[in-house]
Every structure is written in C-alpha cells, then in structure tokens.
Structure 1
Amino acid sequence: MSNRKFSKGIKFLLCLPVIALIATALGYIVMYLWNWILPEVTHAGQLNFWQALGLLVLCRLLFGNFNKGGGNRFREKAWGMRSKWQNMNDEERAKFKEEYKRRCGGWGNRNKEAI
C-alpha cells in the first residue's frame, strides 16, 4: 500500500511542472486575447497576467467544474450502456426493461388512477 502511495506521490510531483506550464500558457493566451480584442471593441481596460489567470479560474468555476474529462463522462457512460445493450440477449433485455419500468416508470407516464 505504501509503495502505491509513493508512486502516486512521484507522479504528482512530476505532473506539477506540466500543470504550471499549462496554467501559464492559458493565462498568457487569455491575457493576449483580452488585450487584443476587448479594449478596442468594448473599451475595457487591459489585463495583466495575474488578472487573466484569475479570470480563467473564475470562468472555470462559473461555467465548468474542475472534473477530470470534463463533459465526456456522460458520453462514455452512454456508449458503455449501448455496448451492454447490444450484448444482451432477449431475455436479459426484457428483464432490464421491467427493472427500468419498476424504478423509473412514473416519469411522464403516470396513471390517472394513481393521481
């Protein structure tokens, strides 16, 4: 167990310079694009590097969370479910449909007697 933690720690330490390089590059890209476009179009002030990095973090917090993989997780799960569905035989599909109806059948398909 400690060997695993050690290897994770080494990987983390090796990733730090890469993460710092990516953050620096993104900060300069945001700063360059802001200072190139917005002062002329909207008469906004110019940004320095730290303001651009702060803006990048703020946008990431507001519009996307810091999950690994971003929004691809839903797509990966959908493809995984599709392959599972294709590998099921008719009996397994019927069983799955019944379980799905039991768990989720009330959504949009409510019986008038139940109301």
Structure 2
Amino acid sequence: MKKLFKSKIRFVVIPIVALAFVFLVGYVVMTLWNYTLPALLGVKTITLWQAMALFFLCKILFGFGGSGPKKGRSHWKGGRAMHGAFDQMDEADKSRFGAYMRWKSCGWNDTADTSEEKEDR
C-alpha cells in the first residue's frame, strides 16, 4: 500500500476512488431519502444527481468535520494545564483560589463554608 502512494499511479487511483466514494454516498442519500421521506412526508423522490447536490449542500452548511480533537487532545484544551498549575500552588494560594471561585459562583456552594463563616453572616 505504501508503494502505491509513492508511485505515479496514485494520480489515477486516488481520483477514481474519490469519485466512486462520492457516487456511493450520493446513492446512499438517494436511497434513504426515497425510502423514508415520500412515505413519511409525501415529498417527491430524488435522483442521484439531486442526492449528491443535497449531500454537498449539507456539507457546506454543517461543515466538513474538521473541528474535532487532534492527535489525542481533548476538547478541553486548558484542562491539563490548569490542573498542573493548581498542583504547583501552595496551600495559601489554593485557599485564596477556592475563596475566589466560591465568590465567583455567587454563593451557590454554601455547603463548602465552615460553620464559623455561616455564624458570622
């Protein structure tokens, strides 16, 4: 397989495979449309060319799927970096950070307060 991608034949094989893939996807879209929607909604059946155009329209409108995580990274890019920064803090910094986060949450986490703090209020 490696040899195929290094030879000049790739300029013939890859476009043929890509074209076959486009026609296969168009056929699948056409079959699914013609099987479900006319019976369900009463719409007309579509041709193969209309199905391929519909597929490309959906790809343009909804994207080509290139926004996922790359090389094992998660969607939460800063999560590991923040975790490492929190581990390097001393106890005073951690308590200040915790107080700041409790203040930012508008007091929603009152269960973390000690009984002395509740009495002072």
Q: Under a length normalisation based on structure 1, what TM-score does the superposition of the two structures give?
A: 0.53
Larger-gyration structure (1/2): 2
Percent identical among aligned pairs is: 29
Matched residue count: 84
4+ residue runs over 3 A deviation: 7-13
State the match for 1:78 in structure 2: 74
For 1:1-115, list aligned pairs within 5 A.
Answer: 11-65=10-64, 67=66, 71=68, 73-74=69-70, 76-78=72-74, 97=85
- Of stretches 44-53 and 7-16 in structure 1, the one that deviates more from structure 2 is 7-16
Q: Which has the higher helix share?
A: 1
State how far apart, in whole Å, the 2-side matches of 1:63 and 1:40 are. 26
Q: Give the whole-Å Cα distance in 2 for the aligned partners of 1:75 and 1:11.
A: 26
Structure 2: unaligned runs, 5 residues or longer: 1-5, 87-100, 105-121
Show structure 1 runs of 5+ residues with no match: 1-6, 86-92, 99-108
Instruction: Report the CA distance between 1:74 and its aligned residue.
Output: 4.8
Distance 2:70 2:51 in 1: 30
TM-score (norm 2): 0.51
